[in-house]
């Protein structure tokens, strides 16, 4: 099962949890980062990143790391995949997620803690819809 989020321009609610997202080669439709940077379109984070923070007593809610998709898969498994598919949509890995100053605003320990574990960016290779009941298939 996936958790899905849209980035918004609403400062009071910058991450909106949703039941589904529509994607295409330019990212997540209606996301504030749609068509912004082709290497940073769809951020996928693992629940393990949140577990790392919880073990350090850093209280986070899903969505706080800025992701569009949360999965229970390992980020290393996604990084090393030959093929990535969600809801019949093929994806390519574009880059590992770099850390931003926003994480330090949540907790000054987060950037160091999640240095290589914040997430990965994917680009959809076609159009499609992803729902929370879908799974990521990696081979």
pLDDT higher than threshold 80 for residue 123: yes
Q: What is the residue extent of each domain of the chain? A: 3-138
Mean pLDDT for the chain overall: 94
Residues 6+ apart with CB under 8 A from 56: 109, 113
pLDDT > 80? residue 54: yes
Q: What is the pTM of this model?
A: 0.93
Residue 11 — pLDDT band, cuts 50, 70, 90? confident
* CATH class of the domain comprising 3-138: mainly beta
pLDDT for res 136: 95
What tens digit of pLDDT does each residue of 59-117 get?
999 999 999 999 999 999 999 999 999 999 999 999 999 877 788 999 999 999 998 89
């Amino acid at each position: 099962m996936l958790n899905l989020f849209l980035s918004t321009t609403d400062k009071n609610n910058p991450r909106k949890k949703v039941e589904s997202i529509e994607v295409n080669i330019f990212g997540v439709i209606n996301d504030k980062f749609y068509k912004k940077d082709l290497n940073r379109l769809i951020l996928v984070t693992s629940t393990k990143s949140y577990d790392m923070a919880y073990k350090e007593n850093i209280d986070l809610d899903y969505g706080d790391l800025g992701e569009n998709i949360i999965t229970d898969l390992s980020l290393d498994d996604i990084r090393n995949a030959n093929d990535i598919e969600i809801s019949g949509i093929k994806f390519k890995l574009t880059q590992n997620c770099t850390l931003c100053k926003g994480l330090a605003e949540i907790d000054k320990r987060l950037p160091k803690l999640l240095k290589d574990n914040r997430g990965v960016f994917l680009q959809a290779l076609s159009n499609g819809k992803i729902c929370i009941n879908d799974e990521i298939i990696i081979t």
